[in-house]
Structure 1
Amino acid sequence: MPKSRMRLFVLAAFLVVAVIVYVKRGAEETLSSEYYTRTQEALQAKEYAEAAKERDAANIGERLKAAEEAAKKAADDKSQRYLESVEGTTEDDKSVAGRVKLTQQGGDKKLGVAKQGGRTREKDASELEHETLEDHEVEVELNAILKKSPVIIFSKSYCPYSKRAKQLLLETYKISPAPFVVELDHHPLGAKLQDTLAESTHRRTVPNILIMGRSIGGSDDIAALHEAGKLEETIRTMGGSRITEVKVAAGNDAEKKSEPAALR
């Protein structure tokens, strides 16, 4: 091999070794430099923060789901306790999703939310599937209201027709147990209760008077029954054994004939 070629080979080998040593030293200096260290720490901190956010989001979702399930369970338990307090309740009084249906004591069962003219409004499986927590809360609240008395007056405090109906049922007549009044404009769930009543009784206006969960109409309807002398009989018949007394209050005998005209 010529000497010149040998020298070139040795020179090339030296250059390769020198480049490798330079690159290695540069990499070591880079890894140990303050800038590289800070950059790596910043990247790691960012990764940790993102991972923590993902964990927090997952935990919040789980907590919200657990809270919703707990609220539904509490509402179901409240419905179950109410159902057990009503005489004559059986397993047949539960709906497809385990939801409780209001039972009419001494009358038809499975009233659902309310009845009009004996027609039952029950929820099917598809409705229950799309029912919100608020809808369930309204249903539970309505069932609790219907337990207060055989006669319920859904009213609004400023409504003159509601005032007339309350005067007739609370003052002109003596009814035991006394009718229970719900002022929808003062109730926190008043708007939703009115929507539910409109769906189940086909009556949105107030007053809406229910006897054993069945709507008998509004102010004009009970005034007409009163004028015809049939209101007392209607309340006794629809109320059944839940009504212990219904009669014209003392001092209102003359009013019984004259009041409806005056109220108009």
Structure 2
Amino acid sequence: MQEVVPIDPTHTTPRNARLTGALGAEDPSVRLQAALAASSAPDLGLLDALVERCAVEPDFFVRDMLSWALTRLPPGPALARIRRELDADRAQARAQALHTLSKIGDRSAWTWIPRALLHDRDDEVARTAWRVTVALAPDDEETRADLAGELVRHLGRGDRAVRLSLSRALVDLGDVTRTALERATADPDPAVATHAAATEVLRQRPETGFDAAVDEARRTVALGPEGAARPAPAPTAAPGTGPC
């Protein structure tokens, strides 16, 4: 049974009170329509209701519309309210706040996103933090290299989706990741070394698929760079099947 959390309807107009109530309805289509209505006619009176619903909304499409509604509000008060959610106890509140920051795209947010979110215990929060901080990071090489140093600490973490997210973030940082990835390929943990090598393959050849990059990286880690470069031996014919 999905969680339905009432939101305090302390708003000044009947429309806002009606939309606030609809955002907590059991039917996701009703909640989606309410979020769409909020985005169509932005009103700062709905700011708290939209942010609070982001923290508990179970439906992906509704959450995305809530974020879109927040991007339609004046950025000053919206950013200030979203910032408070970055320290929330609920993981979804932290993740959705980060996601909404990426939608707003104000790079000044870089200065106040807690670096602890890059190392969040919740995989979804961490994945979102990697993507958003890379997108909002300043263009100077030193800052981006420092960020790469933070991200490589998570090489080998989680399942395929988590590792793919980290690889994408590191690739998006550009050439500043090369040194950190080279060091990580020598890590004694095969999971870390393989993930680092796969990410370096993607950095050099972005057209390579993630799974193909991982396969290549496993061969490199197992055989070393020189061994991996040698072609695989030709298969030996079974007895009695060779030429007469």
Q: TM-score, normalised by structure 2?
A: 0.25
Name which structure has the greater RCO, CA cutoff 8 Å, separation 6+. 1
User: Between Structure 1 and Structure 2, whose CA radius of gyration is higher?
Assistant: 1
More strand, by proportion: 1
More helix, by proportion: 2
Q: TM-score, normalised by structure 1?
A: 0.23
